[in-house]
Chains A and B, each alone.
Chain A
Amino acid sequence: MKVKVISRSADEFTRERSQDLQRVYHNYDPTLRPQEKAVEYVRALNAAKLEKIFARPFIGAMDGHRDGVSCMAKNPNYLKGLFSGSMDGDIRLWDIANRKTVCQYPGHQGAVRGLTVSTDGRILVSCGTDSTVRLWNVPVANLTESDDSSDNSAEPLAVYVWKNAFWAVDHQWDGDLFATSGAQVDIWNHNRSQPVNSFQWGTETVISVRFNPGEPNVLATTASDRSIVLYDLRMSSPARKVIMRTKCNSISWNPMEPMNFTAANEDCNCYSYDARKLDEAKYVHMGHESAVMDIDYSPTGREFVTGSYDRTIRIFQYNGGRSREIYHTKRMQRVFCVKFSCDASYVISGSDDTNLRLWKAKASEQLGVLHPRERRKHDYHEAIKNRYKHLPEIKRIVRHRHLPKPIYKAAALRRTMIEAERRKAERRKAHSAPGSIVNEQLRKKRIIKEVE
């Protein structure tokens, strides 16, 4: 009989350092571990619970404004830089890392309605209700380290006075054009005191404008006539208008999918559109209990953040009907503006309570440098959680969120209302001639028409 002797060479098992792990050899024969599914299920469950335990999204608040924060802009070239404008005309540059004001600009006479930064991060453009567009110099990143707030206030590079009050401004990606909206849409150059182009389609006020980052000559606006309009600068003409039942407060293009954009609507929902097919929304993102005030896509293009009048912030998947995450604090009031940070790990919100708030994009994410083993562990947890997310127990834990009472109640009320409406429609349909009432899809329901 042949005897197999266990033999191990010392070289293979000797650790280089005492911190090193003992090497373990596994036999991966599946027959040796028949319980793997059960084991992984339990792990997924635990991972889901741990996620709940570690979910602490709020990082900190940045206070300094003396009025509600009306608009924000992120520096596309500098991760820590964030600009915010308030209703009293104050413009501030924040250092997100230590949550302090780096620079305070004199700002506008009335409210600042729009802020945007050029792609190279050198010039800040602001506009406001005082009918001026102001260009500001952005202090260089190195200077910001010397941390004397409000001393670096600078005179604007240029002040362009125009005929009407402005509602929003956005800068072209990798270009030197920016667009303002107000009574009409104006396209400006940095160096010209007058717009290089103006578009007017209809008479209503245009309340938001956003350039397409992937396709820099395409921009979209929303107007108070409940319309969303697309423009193409190559032909310097508007292209298409779609009118919805309620107006859209803001709009955001998907930076990774240049044909898609999402509009934040007054009816508590967000609507994702394909710019080529405007007769129906591709997705309807539901969840907010009041008008959605602002929306911003994550640079990864996989999710977006919305701020609402119901004092909450939600994060949606680009194709998710319901929100993945909801953030709220006791003191946060109506949210007027939200931004996703340029590295897609943070969310910043500006609200009526004069504060900016910094949140993690993933509530339970571990910040700081991760060891490879830690990261592997997180990845594994994420993977198994994702794998078993459809099973009832895990689903319940992952979905559960604690909500403030008013919002919870509002949600319940809303549900009842929607249910009642649905029931009524059902009955109406049941009592009318067959075929006379057609059920309309939610994706199409809120769209009145597409105008050429």
Chain B
Amino acid sequence: MEDSHRLSVHRFRKMSMGKPKDGDLQLAAMADKSKPGAASTALVEYAGPVFKEEEEDLEIKLRRIMENVPVRVSNTSGSSAGSGLGDFHQYRQMRRKEPDRLAISPALWPPSFTAMAEKKRATHPKAKSLKNQKKSSKKIGDSDMKRKRSGPRLPNSMRKELERLNKTSSLHNSDNEDIDSDEGNDFYEYKEPLPQEESRKNRRYDPVDNYEYQLPDNFEDENVLSDDDDENDYDSSDRTESSKQLGDEVEDDDDERHMRMLQGITGMPSKVFEGKKKKKKNIVMSEAYPESEFNPSRDVLEGSGQITIEDLLEPLQGKAGYSKLRKRMHQMDKKSVAIQAPLPKVEQDKLERKAVYEFSKKDITKWEPLVKMNREAPTIVFDEDTNIGFSTVGAIASGFEPRTEFEKKMATLVNDEKVAEAHKEDGARLLEMNKISVEDYLEDRNHIAKMRSLLFRHEMKRKRVKKIKSKTYHRLLKKDRLKAASAESLMDPEAAKEEARKQEFKRAEERMTLKHKNSSKWAKRILKRGLNTQDEGTRAAIAEQLNQHAILTRKMNSMKDSSSSSSSGSGDSSDEEDIDRNSADSEEDGASKLLAKAKEKTLKILEEEDEIPNSGVLSLPFMVRGVKKRKEEAIEEAKLALQEYESSLKEFEGIGEEENSKAGVTSGRRVFGAVQKEVSEPNKKIKTDNYYRNSDSEDDLEPKENLEVGNRKNNDLQKDVNINSVLLNEDTESHQDSVFKSFDEVVRDSGPKTSYDVSIFASGTWKQMKSGNKMDTDTKKPIKDTDAKKPTKVVKCVWDNQGLEEMNDESNSDSDDGEREMVDGIISSEPKASYKLPSQEELIRLAFAGDDVEEDFQKDKEKILNEENPVPEKPYLLLGWGQWTSFQQKKGLPSWMVEEHENAKKKREDAMKRRKDARLKHVIISEKLDEKAEKLHTKTLPYPFTSKEVFEQSIRVPVGPEFNPATAIGALNQPEVKKKSGVIIKPIKFEEVNPHEKTKDHKPHGQKQKMNKNKGVSNRRPKSRPVVVKS
């Protein structure tokens, strides 16, 4: 009996499991694992109908036990192993009840069970020894009790079982079976300390789990409670731990009772009720595949022959809480669905992975809009704001370190703790710190008062000095100052240098600004009013200013000359009181003085000459007459001279300013010497002419020429005083202008006054006028003057080539010819109109009589064809080339040359035939390939473009700076990726992108796309993120 042997081994092991040792526990677990498989294989082996029916029954029982076994494995709370667990209270309760149970058990146990056990024990001594071995390893405290329980009982029960077996009826068999299974449960129920979760974790999907009577966890609690109710029930009183155990026990008992009850009620033999089990038995035998956790035995699957909950409930009938319990059971029955067998792990993993992938896929899809946006953006910008150290002024200031003494001092004061504290706390403290001693304060105040009084006194002094009106005083003052300065300059080279520098600066300034050149408002006003009307002082002041200017703008070298001359001047006019003026006397002034002197002298002479000597030779009458005559002449001369002098004097005063301005314009410095003389000589000549003319016809010309009087006077002066060449030039210019003016007037008037010279000058205009007159007279058509302008011009052009004398006649004849022609034109059309009109073709032929269009076209085409397919060159015979000369002379061209030529000709003909326009007479289709244009074409449409138009459009608008304004270039030339080197780019971070919003943005700006590119750099994105440029 191999099988029963196994069972017993197993059983003992289970028993040993009750012990608290961990090692034991492990061992038991291993035994468990190996068990079912082994058992099932055994089953298959013994499947043949070897046994008796009784034995078969036993077999079934055993199997059931074995099937039940693995479920019960883990609970070890029957021993002290449970002491550490959460259900310690149960454990204690159990321990308490243990003696009672032991006392009862042998007596109350069903006899069949004991007999069975006995039998097994007897047949397998091995198991016994094993069990003993296990026992030896138990803890002492526990082992005592266990021995008490199991030791004496087993032999007894076995004995009883044996006895029973001998006399049992078939009826008892079923009982036995039940009890047996019960017994199995009995053994293991204490030894299941492992909680259910744990067992699940190990993935032991035991077939027992599928038993219908396995109750849910909440039900377990119910049962535990109900245990108390069933206290008097001998079985359940012992087993209070779990509902399953309870269920098992109750079931066993109930089954027996139920059977009896059925028998009692129906009066039928128990075999009738056994039918189910027999069926099951048959099925068991036919089981084809090994029983395992994956292949649960069929009886389990079918569920026949199982104890239902109703069966279990029955004994409780009438007891408290029964109806409630039943109600719940009904409810559960309705709801309950069969739990399916778990899938194999491979399958499960696969499904899990599938789920994970689906989830992952769905989750990752959230990036799509963002990625899409990035990809479609014309430019993606990775522009992180980097920390450059310090960005604000404050940041820079914070890094400031005082270096100089002053800075350090300031720093100590600023960073003074006390001050800082005072600032922090309150203003009052600051005030306290500001406190100074009375002495300090007084000292300060006195010092300030002194300074102020000094300042005041100085001021008053200045005022008083300023008030002094005496020029002498000021002059003296100035002189003193100058003297001091000169002395200083003499003494001190430094001061001299300084002085020179100052002087130089002044000169430069003057040259720049022309400050002293009557450009001031005051000077202008005075000059406007007329210098003569002014008093002495003003005139002097003006003169002085001019003088100043002259000095300042004078060439460096001439400085000394002027000073010397001025000194001499001052020497001459020492009687004059104004020192300043004398010192700065100019040549002009000298000249005026000279003039004045001359005037005086002449006057004196005039007066003197009045006294005629009365005696001597000179008193003779002819002498007297001669003298008189001479005198008269002299007087005349003197008068003239006087007049001259006067006018020149006046003029000089008036023109002074102009003269100076001229000088200023020409150059900053005056150049004395030969150059001026050269210029001045011809001027003189002109001058004289002008002068005479002016003097002659002064009255006539004055109103016409609008010449300034001053100018004329100046011109008069030029003879004597040769000062300014520029002025003279100016004068001549003005004269010429006036002359031209007069010409114009003369021409306009076409009066008799026009001289020959004038006519030469204004020949053009004169001619024009004449011709105009001509046209008016000759062409009899009423042409308005405005219209006539054109023809006159034309005529003039013609006439330019001809002499002046012939002009009149020629023009007459010309105009006559023109008239005739015109008349011809009209006449010729008139007589033709009277004929019959020729046909249209005729007309066209007539119209294009000269040109043969078709032939021209043919020629053109031929030319183009020849260009595109050139006619092969005729072979050219060069003596001695290609062949010996003698051969050449004999045979002519070498054959290969001829052949080549022929081939080329043929080729050309073929090419001509192949041309598209070969048969089209009136068409030229150029097949010339433009190689340069070829470069700008692609053979195929490039990849991302879908049509030719799009591609062409993409390269149509130029992007360069020459073709686009600077504002647009940036946007046009943006690179695809904009990044700063040296800035770490972080991976993308998720953000919500609203695709609709984007499209909204797109549409209105679609056309301005390029312009908006760089505008749209959105700032709302955080900095580490890639910024997509929206367009």
Q: Which residues of A contact B (CB under 8 A)?
A: 26, 28, 30, 33, 36-41, 43, 76-77, 79, 173, 201, 213-215, 218, 230, 232, 234-235, 237-240, 255-259, 275-276, 299-302, 342-345, 367, 376, 379-380, 382-384, 387-388, 390-393, 452
Pick the residue among A257, A300, A391 that contacts B936 (CB under 8 A). Answer: A391
Other A-B pairs, 17, CB within 8 Å; known A259-B365, A343-B983, A345-B981 = A28-B963, A30-B963, A37-B955, A39-B960, A213-B988, A230-B357, A230-B360, A235-B356, A257-B367, A300-B382, A302-B977, A343-B981, A380-B959, A383-B959, A391-B935, A391-B938, A452-B354
CB closest chain-B residue, reference A383: B973
A232 to B360, CA, bound (A): 7
Q: Are B977 and A300 in contact (CB under 8 A)?
A: yes
Contact assessment for A344 and B985 in the assembled complex, using a CB-CB cutoff below 8 Å: yes
Scan residues 223-251 of chain B and give those whose CB is less than 8 A from a CB of chain A: none
Q: CB distance B985 to A342 under 8 Å?
A: yes
**Known contacts A37-B958, A379-B974, A390 near B353 by CB under 8 Å:** no
Interface bits B322-365 vs A (CB < 8 Å: 1, else 0): 00000000000000000000000000001011111101110111
A180 to chain B minimum Cβ distance, whole angstroms, is: 21
Segment at the interface with A among B37-45, B288-296, B837-845, B964-972: B964-972
| CB-based contact B353/A237 at 8 Å | yes
The answer to whether A387 touches B959 (Cβ under 8 A) is: yes
The verdict on B961 contacting chain A, using a C-beta distance below 8 Å, is: yes
Considering the complex, give the chain A residue whose CB is closest to the CB of B954.
A387
Docked-complex contact B976 and A302, CB < 8 angstroms: yes
> Is A390's CB under 8 angstroms from B935's CB?
no
16 contacts between A and B (CB under 8 A): A36-B962, A37-B956, A76-B984, A215-B364, A218-B360, A235-B352, A256-B988, A299-B984, A299-B986, A301-B988, A343-B983, A343-B984, A344-B382, A379-B974, A387-B954, A391-B938
- Majority SS at the chain A contact face: loop
Closest A-B pairs by Cβ, 3 of them: A299-B985, A213-B987, A255-B987
Query: Of the candidates B364, B936, B954, B982, which one forms a contact with A276 in the assembled complex, judged by CB atoms under 8 Å apart?
Result: B364
Interface-centre pick from A30, A39, A41, A344 (highest chain B CB count, 10 A): A344
Nearest Cβ in chain A — how far from B25, in angstroms?
26
Interface centre among A33, A76, A379, A388 (most CB of B within 10 A): A379
What residues on B are CB-neighbors of A234 within 8 Å?
A: 359
Tell me the residues in window 351-409 of chain B with beta carbons closer than 8 Å to chain A beta carbons.
352-357, 359-361, 363-365, 367-368, 371, 374-375, 380, 382
B973 to A379, Cβ gap below 8 A? yes
Chain B residues whose C-beta falls within 8 Å of the C-beta of A76 in the assembled complex: 984
Residue of A nearest to B959 (CB): A383
Interface digits, B699-721 against A, CB 8 Å rule (1 contact, 0 not)?
00000000000000000000000
**Is A256 a contact partner of B1026 (Cβ separation < 8 A)?**
yes
Q: How far is the CA of A23 from the CA of B982 in the complex (A)?
A: 34
A240 and B360 CA atoms in complex are apart in Å by 10
- Most chain A C-beta atoms within 10 Å of own C-beta, residue among B955, B975, B987: B987
Give the contacting residue for A383; candidates B368, B939, B972; CB below 8 A: B972
A-side contacts of B850, CB under 8 Å: none
B374 surroundings in chain A (CB, below 8 A) = 256-257, 301
Closest to A372 in B: B970
In the complex, what residues of A have CB within 8 A of residue B974's CB?
379, 383
Closest to B355 in A: A235
* B359 lies within 8 A of A259 (CB): no
Q: Taking the nearest CB of chain A, how far is it from the CB of B570, in angstroms?
A: 48
Contacting pair A392 B939 (CB below 8 A)? yes
Q: Indicate if B825 sits at the interface (CB-CB under 8 A).
A: no
Chain A residues lying within 8 Å of B352, measured Cβ to Cβ, are 235, 237
- From A235, A256, A299, B359 is in contact (CB under 8 Å) with A235
A238 to chain B: which residues have CB within 8 Å?
353, 356
Distance from B956 Cβ to chain A, minimum over Cβ atoms (Å): 8
Cα–Cα distance between A76 and B359 once the two chains are bound (Å):
29
Residues of A within 8 A of B937 (CB): 391
> What chain A residues lie within 8 Å of B951 (beta carbons)?
390
Residues of A contacting B354 in the complex (Cβ-Cβ under 8 angstroms): 452
Report the Cα distance A41→B989, complex, angstroms: 40
A62 to B526, CA, bound (A): 91
A257-B959 contact, Cβ under 8 Å, with A173-B987, A276-B361: no
B357 touches A393 (CB 8 A): no
Nearest CB of chain B from residue A299's CB, rounded to whole Å: 4
Q: With A79-B984, A256-B988, A391-B935 given, is the CB distance from A218 to B364 under 8 Å?
A: yes
Closest A residue to B372 by beta carbon equals: A257
> Which one of B357, B956, B982 has the greatest number of beta carbons of chain A within 10 Å?
B357
| Cross-chain contact of B963 among A33, A79, A173, A218 (Cβ < 8 A) | A33
- Chain A's closest residue to B938 (CB) is A390
Determine whether the beta carbon of A255 is less than 8 Å from that of B988. yes
Collect the chain A residues with CB atoms within 8 Å of residue B639's CB. none
Give the residues in chain B near A79, CB-CB below 8 Å.
982, 984
Query: What's the least CB distance linking B361 to chain A, in Å?
Result: 5
**What 0/1 readout, one digit per residue, does chain B (979-1004) give for beta carbons within 8 Å of chain A?**
11111111111100000000000000
Q: Of all chain B residues, which has the CB nearest A258?
A: B367
Using known A-B contacts A232-B360, A300-B985, determine if residue A452 contacts B353 with beta carbons closer than 8 Å.
Answer: yes
- Chain B nearest Cβ from A82, distance in angstroms: 13
